[in-house]
Amino acid sequence: MAETIFSKIIHRQIPADIVYEDDHCLAFRDISPQAPVHVLVIPKEPIESLATANGDSAELLGHLLLKAAHVARQEQLEGWRTVINTGTEAGQTVFHLHIHVIGGRPMAWPPG
Ligand code: AMP
């Protein structure tokens, strides 16, 4: 998998506003927030997208979701949206799997 900007954040080669970290994942504020709270939760292991994840990552994927909820609670959100853009057509721009945790404002459904 090609090196992405998120690998550079994991390896502290570029700065990020990190709000949570453990052995398996990192969570940091999105540089272009779409809501008052917009955090990205990423695995330290470089998985390109949900489309390329397989059963070997089942435990890690569960861990990422639980940590997304942890971050939302840490940010004192009452409601929040988790988004995983998969593939260019869906708006994925960084090909290192990430969960957007977005909250702090009302949100419409369906998304545009
Ligand atoms: P996606 O479009 O789903 O692939 O989301 C990628 C997200 O990464 C976008 O919301 C970007 O604003 C965000 N992003 C890109 N570069 C950085 C960075 N250096 N630090 C924090 N967030 C970033």
pLDDT digits (tens, 9 = 90+) for 18-31: 999 999 999 999 99
Average pLDDT of the residues in 74-102: 98
Q: Give the residue among 69, 10, 65, 5 at the shortest CA–CA distance from 31.
A: 5
Asked whether the predicted pLDDT for residue 111 surpasses 90, the reply is: no
What domains can be seen in the chain, in order of their start residue?
5-103 (3.30.428.10)
User: Got the DSSP string for 91-105?
Assistant: T--SSS--EEEEESS
Q: What does the pLDDT read at residue 21? A: 98
* Ligand 1 pocket list (CB less than 6 A): 5, 16, 30-32, 40, 85, 91-94
Q: What does the pLDDT read at residue 112? A: 72
Average pLDDT of the residues in 85-107: 97
| Distance in angstroms (rounded) separating the CA atoms of residues 59 and 56 | 8
CB burial readout 22-48, b (16+ within 10 A) else e:
eeebbbbebeeeebebbbbbbbbebbb
Q: Give the residue among 56, 42, 27, 45 at the shortest CA–CA distance from 85.
A: 42
Q: Ligand 1 centroid to 109 CA: how many Å?
A: 22
Q: What does the pLDDT read at residue 2? A: 81
What confidence tier does 1 reach under pLDDT thresholds 50, 70, 90? confident
Task: Please name the residue ranges forming H helices in the chain.
Answer: 5-10, 58-74
pLDDT tens profile 20-76:
999 999 999 999 999 999 999 999 999 999 999 999 999 999 999 999 999 999 999
**Predicted TM-score of the model (pTM):** 0.98
Active site positions, annotated: 98
Cis peptide leading into residue 33 (ω within 30°):
no
